[in-house]
Amino acid sequence: MGVENRTEEKIMKEHATFATRRTLLRAFPSVATPGFIGPWQLPRNSRVRFATDFEPVLLRRSSEGRALSKARLDTAEEFFAGVEEGRIRSTGTLLYHVGIASQLALSAHLLDVGFPDDWNARNLGLDVARSLACANATGLCCDDPQMIQFAVSLSPYGKWRFADITGVSDFPFTDDQVKLLTRQLIDRVRDVTGHPLRSRS
């Protein structure tokens, strides 16, 4: 292993618990093209426990990725608005909507740090927990046990579209907790990406 690789590994270990997006991005050598970070393969550490079926990925930050990231976060807010405003009351429908909103928000973070959108579609799909693991490995730092359990319980979020009474009653969070956790996740992505809140007309 070269000196450069050992240095990157040391930085990742030092920031495994208290990583910020800025410190993680500093760990990778910049190249001549502005806005490019990489190449980098996802770390496989004990905190994240990545699935072995993830394709290797090179992170390339770009203005196009940032613009798409902003659009995804705005769409997440739109999906979540119906829940926050009380227009969506049925628990199954509520979970489906917060699953979409959570996945969109996490997608916004992943696009911003350079994950290709087609890689996200192939490797993450509707699985909020897998998306959260990738986001936390790249500086989201939204890895408290409650948030992880929430993401796991939502995944894959498509199952809530036509959920029966039994499935909904087994969900380990109340509707109020669901709303709070989703808002925390969206706000955390907004803080980390720095995307401004779109004004509502």
Residue-range domain boundaries for the chain: 3-193
Round the average pLDDT of the chain to a whole number and report it: 78
Query: In this predicted structure, what is the pLDDT of residue 167?
Result: 65
Tell me the pTM: 0.75
Q: SS3 letters for 187-201?
A: HHHHHHHCCCCCCCC
Number of other CB atoms surrounding residue 158 within 10 Å: 14
Say yes or no to pLDDT of 35 above 50. Answer: no
Of 95 and 33, more confident = 95
What is the token pair recorded at 2?
A: 């070269």
Closest CA to 130 of 151, 111, 110: 151
Per-residue pLDDT tens digits for 170-191 = 889 999 999 999 999 999 999 9
When computed from its CA atoms, the radius of gyration of the chain, rounded to whole angstroms, is 17
- Per residue in 118-136, pLDDT (tens digit) is 999 999 999 999 999 999 9
Per-residue pLDDT, 173? 94
Instruction: Taking residues 187-200, report their average pLDDT.
Output: 89
Quick check: 50 pLDDT over 70? no
